[in-house]
Structure formats: C-alpha cells, structure tokens
Structure 1
Amino acid sequence: MTATAVLPTPVAAATRVSVARGYRFELVKLVSQWRIRLLVLACWIAPGLFVAGVGQQSTLPSDTLFGRWMLATGWAGPLVILGFSGTWALPLLTSVVAGDVFASEERLGTWRHLLVAVRSPRRIFVAKALASLTVIVLLVAGLAASSTVGGLLAVGDHPLVGLDDHLLAPGDAAGRVLLAWLSVLAPTLALAGIGLLGSVVLGRSPMALLLPVVVALAMQLAQLLPLPVAVRLALPSWAFIAWNGLFADPGQLGPLVLGIVVSLVWAVTATAIAYLLFLRRDFTNSTDDGSARRAVTAGLLPLAGLIAVTVAVVAAVTGATTGSGIRQDKVQRSLATAFAHLYRMQTAQLNRPAVTEAQLKSSAACTKGDVADDAQGAGNDWRCVVSWHLPGTRTAGQAVYQLDITADGRFVADGDGPKEVNGYFLVRTSTGDAPNPLWQFDGNVDLLSTSPKG
C-alpha cells in the first residue's frame, strides 16, 4: 500500500470590496432605515403642503424674510422654507444621517464583520461618507422642490419683491431661488462633516447624534451677538444667512462667496479629521466607544483652531477687523433705496403718474436712540425720516420709519406716518383695498460694503 500525498487546495486570495460596491451597500443600509424613509417622505411632501396651506390663509408669517409676500407670488414660499431649514431642519437632518452613520455600527456591534467583508477601513469610511452625502443632498432637494411646486401651484408664477424691494421677474426669481438653495449645500456639508467627526469620536454616545445640532445652535446664537464682522463671517452658519444677498440690487455676493468658501473649508477639515481618527480606530476592542479626552483633543481643539485661522484670514481679506458693519450711512442708503422701489409700486397701485427713482431723489436721515451722528450697531431703536421729491413740486415729502435691525444686517422698517403714505396697512385702489407696500417692509445692510460715509 502506498501513501497518497494530499495537496492543499489552493484558496483564492481575498479581494477588497470596491468603493462603488461599498457605497451601494451603505446607501441601501441607510434608505432601508424607517427613520430615513420618513425623512425623505417628509422633505418631499411637507414643505409643499405647508406653502400651499399658507397660500390659502389670510395671515402670513410676516416676521420671516419674504413671508409677507407669500400671497403675492409662489417664489416666496421656497425662500421662507429655506430660512426655516437653515435654522432648524438642515442641522437636524445632518444629525440623523451623518451623525449616526458610524455610531450605528457601534450599537449593532458589526464593526469586525464589516471590516472582514470590506477589508479596508479607508474604503469603509469613503463609502459611508458618500452614502450619507447622497441622502443629505436628496433631502435638501426634496425641501427645495416641494416648497417650490407647492408655492407655484397655490399662488402662481408672479414677480417677486426683492430684499431691497425691487421687482424680480419670474424667470429671474426662479434662478435666484435655485442659487439660494444651492448655496446652503456648503454649510450643510460643514455640519455633515461635523456629524461624521462626532460619530467617529463619540461612538454610541447620544452626543454623537446631537453634535451637528448643538454646533449649529451655538453658531446661530453667536450670530445674534454683537460680534465683529470677521468673526461672524468666519462661521459656517453665515452661509445660511448670506443667500439673502442674492435678492438685493446690486447683489451682495461678497459675503455669500465668503460664507461658501468658509463652509467648504470646515467641511473638508472636519471630514479629514474624522477620516484620520477612523483609520487609527482599534476595531478589536468592542469597548472602544470614544472618550471625553479624545473628543476634546481630537475634535474640539482642531475646530477651535480652525475658527481662529478663519477669523484671521477673513479679517485680512475683507479688512473688517472690528465693528458690526452696521453704520448709519449704510442704513440710510439702504432704506432710501428700498423706499424708492416701493414708492413706485404704490404709485402704480393708486394709478398716479409714473415717476422714476432718479426723479424721486429719495434720501434718509437716521438716528439710533440718542445718537445722531455716526450711529452704528444692531437694535430696535433706529428712527429714520425718509424724504423724496415729486416732479413739479417744491416741497419734499417725508415719512417716518422705526427700524429693527438684527446683527446680520437685516432690518424691518415699520411705517409711522403720515397715514396716507405708510401709516395704514391697506391702500384703497380702483379694484378695492390692497396691501400697502410702504407700511412695513424688509431690507438688508451689506456688512462688507466699503462705500464712503455720508
């Protein structure tokens, strides 16, 4: 009897899963979760229903930007939703998606199984980051599309009154609404990067899920404080506000571009830190669930350093090292421009002879509290007198306004007489009573404007 040698069967070398396959797998995992599906449905349905519902009401959210125009044009609805989304919806969405994409593996205890299947921590991170980005973009697109369709169906494709109260044709309004929604993708990506970082560093901790919301709220509170312009513009949250400049004439694009660049820098930095920390992760230790020390040293300190760097760079680029950016001459110029636009609108309502803005020669004289010269800063104690001239008359017309200016430069002008100009919220036209455009209106002060005083 002869012994037969048994040779080992060749084993095929294990191959790494490609990024494309990993991305598809992670995307399926995300959209199979019931909460993600509910968010998708909510984002694609709820805004449209809200905008359409408001279009049928007699009261409007006039305390929100463009809210007072929701009965006049369908293009105001998506801008109202955009303002709400930047404050509440988008931070919450990034928390649920990006803030949980790594932490969910902690709860399920599937890290080692996933690593054996994919055989590359780098590809796992890239696949998860791309999948969460895809879902977030889908949610943002739903908010924009739903609110736009709801507004157009309920109110119609009419001209939109811009931020300095000039009329935007429907086509122009559509383009600017699209650009406004595209611009907020940058700060949304910044919050998503912070969510990825929190999910990697904090693991199963509830703070991992809440980190984007907490950071967003902290930045929004900072925007309410009387901070220097450079500090305000160095925060990603500024891009959630700066889209307002698209609706001014001329457009205030400098703050918007700066906000987008700062937000993208934050997004790249936070994601890169999360990536480096993820590669150093000890997957063999099931109790490695983040620590307060690592959260501070690896997460908080780099972001604090990033704030310092961006503040220095923004100050150097813009020259805005101190001050709020809200100056008396800027307020007067912005108010006079808005008044001239709206006066022409009221003239058309009342079938009076048409007048141009050059003929009106509108101007404003403003004081803030007891300060008559070089007044500056936010507050609700601004009082302004607007003057204008009509062709063929020697006496200038005058109207009084009380202004409430917020720290980001937005103001609400509330008419305080005379009654026939701005003292009543309705005007009598040939077709009946109509809203008085001069009674109360919004405006904006360009914080980075360097025009001379006076």
Structure 2
Amino acid sequence: MTATLPRETAAPTVPVVPVSRAYRFELVKLVSQWRVRLLVLACWLAPGLFVAGVSQQSTLPSDTLFGRWMHATGWAGPLVVLGFAGTWALPLLTSVVAGDVFAAEDRLGTWRHLLVAVRSPRRIFVAKALASLTVILLLVAGLACSSAAGGLLAVGNHPLVGLDGHLLAPGDAAARVLLAWTAALAPTLALAAIGLLGSVALGRSPTGLLLPPLFALAMSVAQMLPLPVAVRLALPGSAFVSWNGLFTGPAQLAPLLIGIAVSLLWAVLATALAHHLFLRRDFTDPAYDGAGRRALTTGLLPLAGLLALSVAVLAVAAPSAGITRAKVQRSLATAFAHLYRMQTGQLHRPAVTEAQLRASAACTKSDGQAAQEGPGNDWRCVVTWHLPGTAVAGTAVYQLDVGSDGRFVADGDGPKEVNGYFLVRTETGDAPNPLWQFDGNVELLDTTSKG
C-alpha cells in the first residue's frame, strides 16, 4: 500500500491590469470630478456665446488681433479666442487637469489601493497621462468649435482679411483657423507635461497646480520683452504667438514650425522626467511630500539645459533674424496695397491691381535719432502709391507700433480722404475704413524674402 502526498497548490496570481483598462478607469475618475465637468461645459458653451455677443456690439476689441474684423466675418472670432486662450485659458485648463492628476492620490492617500488594483506603477503613469491628454484635447476642441460656431452663426461665413491685407476666401480662412488651433496644441502639451512633472515632483503640495499658469505667465512676459529672436523662438510658448504667420501671403511658416518643434521637445522631456521621478518614488511612505532635492536636479535642470541648447542652435541657424527697417517698410507697403484695393471696391472706384499701385513705404524710427531696427511705438512711415493715368503720386502717413513678436498696428495720420477717418462714405451708407487702422506682421526670420 503506497501513500500519496497531496500536491501543493500554487497561490493564484493576480494578473496585471492592462493599460487600456487602467486608462478607462482614470478617465472616468477625471470626468466624474465636478470641476472637470464644469470646465468641459464652459469650454463648449462660453466661447460661442462670447463671440456671438461681441460680434453684435458696436465697439469691437480692436486692440486684439483680428478683433477689428469680428463684424465682417465669423472666422475672426475663433482667432480672438485663440489669442486669449494661449495667454490665460489653456494654462489654467492644463493646471486643473494635468497639474493635479498625481497630487490628488497623495492628498487622498490612495496610492496603495491603486497599486494593489493595477500592480504596475508604469501602467498607472501611462494611464493617468493619457487620461489627462484626452480631457485636455476635449477642452481645446470645445474652445475651437464653440468660438467658430458662435462667429459663423452671428456674422456668417465671409472672407477674412489677412495680416498682409489680402482677402482669404471662406474655405481658406477655415483651413487656416483650424491649422492655428492645431498648432496651439503643441505648447498646450508642453504646459500639460510641466503640470504632470509638478504633480509628481511636489506631491500633495498645491504648488504643482500653479506651475503651468506661472510658467505661461513668465513666457508671456518674456514675449513682450525685446529678446533676441533665437531666445524668443526657443521658448515653448512661441507657437501661441507665431500662428500669426499663417495669415500672411506667403505664409510665414518657419517661426511656427520651430515653435511647434520646441514645444514638443519640452513636452517629451518633461513627461519623461515625470515618469522617471514617479517610478523612483516610495509608495509605502504615507508622509511622502514630493521628491525634494531630486525635483530640482532631475526636473528643473534638464529643462533649463534644453532651453540653453535650443537658444544656441537657433542663434547659429538664424544669426541675422529680427525686425529691420526694410522688413517694416515691405510689410506696410504690401498690406496698404491690398487694403487700398478693398477701399477702392467700397467706393466703387475704377479697379486697380497691386502691381499698378506700386506702393512703397519710407519709415524712420525715433525720428532717425536711434537705431533703425527693433520693436517700438515710435515708427513713422510715409506710404506712396501711383494710380494709372495719374502723374502725381499719392501719399499717406502712418504711425506704427511694432511689437517684439513682429506684429504691428498701423494708425492712419492723414490725409483724411484716405486714412484719416475711421469711416468711409459709400453708396449704401458709412462703412469701416480699412486703411484707417490695421494690423500687420513683420517676418522675424529671413525665409520668404530678404530684408
């Protein structure tokens, strides 16, 4: 008779939760928060109501890019919203979503429960990052779609005046508005990645929530300073400004493409640093309060190194970039010629082409007492043009306020019948004078033409 030994039963193994399931779980957690739901509702409703309401007012935000054209076309509204969103809305949205996605677990003390359920810190990080990205894309899509719908319903699908004065057909304007909002995703991702890094590195501290808006505010201040072009383009927020180049002919794509590439580099590096810190943290310590000194050495210093490297590369690639008198004169003359044709159509005068006008501009800065280059509100220009069959050339005076980003506002200073009054008298009544005050854009990089 033989005795048999009972077999040892192996302990059941709990399978690792796949990323897709963890992602759905994290997405549901995010969307279930009342503040996220409120943000989604606001992004899909408020821009449209704002654009529709402003478009019906007698006073327009003419100090905002494309704001002066909100009466003329529905495609101006989403660009006005984009200018505001890049400075204020998008940094705050990324702060609420990405800046708190890891810190919330620290405040609630739920890391051990989450690790038991998912059993992989790497999968937890990927799931949280993807869930944050999904919500941010939903919010950005809401801003773009709502503002476009509000403008089209309130004003209509009409041509848009570009930054060099030429008319963009409705289809062309729609495509460029879509490209502008798509380009703004790159710096938005950079801000979101910085939010993830702050949320991981600073633990339950609310400082992580403040990182994206503080970083965006610092970039906005830097963009207003007369920084070298290489430094300006090396900032991850430059794409929030350089989308302006999409609305010139030909499009000034080089600054925009550089801004997108720099923003994506920041997004990848900041996300990788956040991932590195997350995998090295101690999940068993309930009193964990951030990475401490490692947050500086592992988080801040690599980003500072990327900024320095980007500045060095761009300084070598574009040593002569900047705002020069020749560029200002060329941009002003081009915009004036296009807008003069628009005014000619309003007044039902004989048609004339830009080639026939042969418009040119002579500009001086600070009455010639300073260097004839760089930004400032002390540019004074005299535009000269020729009409067919007329021996005497026409002249008009403009005062220019040229920003550090290349955008300028040209304010007409006479003669009255050309640009000295904000209305022109047409057969159907008074209409806005396109030559009285208009926006333009100076190309910072010498790509489309030499200056």
User: What is the deviation of 1:294?
Assistant: 2.9
Counterpart Cα distance in 2 of 1:303 and 1:277: 14
Q: Give the Cα separation in 1 of the matches to 2:362 and 2:371.
A: 12
Match of 2:366 among 361, 366, 369: 369
- Name the counterpart of 1:442: 439
Q: Secondary structure at the match of 1:370?
A: helix
1:318 offset after TM fit, Å? 2.8
Shift of 1:53: 0.5
Normalised to the residue count of structure 1, the TM-score between the two structures is 0.96
Counterpart-to-counterpart distance in 2, 1:259 and 1:287 = 40
Q: For the Cα contact (< 8 Å) 1:328–1:374, is it kept in 2?
A: no
1:118 to 2:115 alignment = no
Give the equivalent residue in structure 1 for 2:391: 394
Match of 1:419 among 416, 424, 440: 416
Q: 1:214: which partner in 2?
A: 214
How do 1:310-321 residues align onto structure 2 when only pairs under 5 Å count? 310-320=310-320
| Conservation of the 8 A alpha-carbon contact between 2:245 and 2:256 | yes
Q: Distance in 1 between matches of 2:52 and 2:144?
A: 14
1:265 equivalenced with 2:262 (yes/no): no
Moved more, 4-13 or 80-89: 4-13
Give the aligned partner of residue 350 of structure 2.
353
Which residue does the alignment assign to 1:181?
Answer: 181
Equivalence for 2:133 = 133
Partner of residue 90, structure 1:
90
Q: Which amino acid aligns with 1:293?
A: R
Deviation string, structure 1 residues 392-451 (Cα, Å, up to 9, x no partner): 111110000000111000000000000000000000000000000000000000100254
- Residues 281 and 291, structure 2, Cα contact 8 Å, conserved in 1: no
Q: Does the aligned pair in 2 maintain the 1:367–1:373 contact within 8 Å?
A: no
Unaligned runs of 5+ in 2: none
Corresponding residue SS for 2:401: strand
Per-residue CA deviation, residues 116-161 of structure 1 (Å, 9 max, x unaligned), is 1111110000000000000000000000000000100000000000
Q: What SS does the corresponding residue of 2:264 show, helix, strand or coil?
A: helix
Who is 1:41 aligned against?
41
Report the equivalent of 1:108.
108
- TM-score normalised per structure 2: 0.97
Give the Cα–Cα distance (whole angstroms) in 2 for the partners of residues 256 and 452 of structure 1: 19
**What does the per-residue CA deviation read over 1:152-176, in whole Å, with 9 as the maximum and x for residues that have no partner?**
0000000000111110000000100
User: Is the partner of 2:237 in helix, strand or coil?
Assistant: helix
Question: What is residue 426 of structure 2 aligned with on the other side?
Answer: 429
Distance 2:286 2:372 in 1: 60
1:198 and 2:195 matched: no
* 1:409 matches 2:401: no
Alignment of 1:157-176 (within 5 A): 157-176=157-176
Contact 2:331 2:441 in 1 (8 A): yes
> For 2:383, what is the secondary structure of its paired residue?
strand
| Matched-pair contact (CA < 8 Å) for 2:26–2:131 | yes
- Aligned equivalents of 1:79 and 1:288: distance in 2? 44
Aligned with 1:137: secondary structure? helix
Counterpart contact for 1:327–1:374, Cα < 8 Å: no
Q: How does 1:276-287 map to 2 (within 5 A)?
A: 276-287=276-287
Q: Structure 1 unaligned segments of length 5 or more: list them.
A: none
Question: C-alpha displacement at 1:8, in angstroms?
Answer: 5.9
3-state secondary structure, aligned to 1:391: coil
Distance 1:260 1:399 in 2: 38
Is the CA contact (8 Å cut-off) linking 1:22 and 1:118 kept in structure 2? yes
1:231 and 1:216 map into 2 onto residues whose CA distance is 15
**C-alpha RMSD of the superposition:** 1.5
The alpha carbon displacement at 1:316 in A equals 2.6
The C-alpha deviation readout for 1:6-54, integer Å capped at 9, x for no partner, is 8665432111100000000000000000000000000000000000101
**Shift of residue 370 of structure 1?**
2.9
| Aligned structure 1 segments of 4 or more residues deviating by more than 4 angstroms | 3-10
Using the alignment, how far apart are the partners of 2:82 and 2:92 within structure 1? 14
Whole-angstrom distance in 2 between the partners of 1:398 and 1:179? 37
Distance 1:108 1:6, change over 3 A: farther
Aligned residue pairs, count: 448
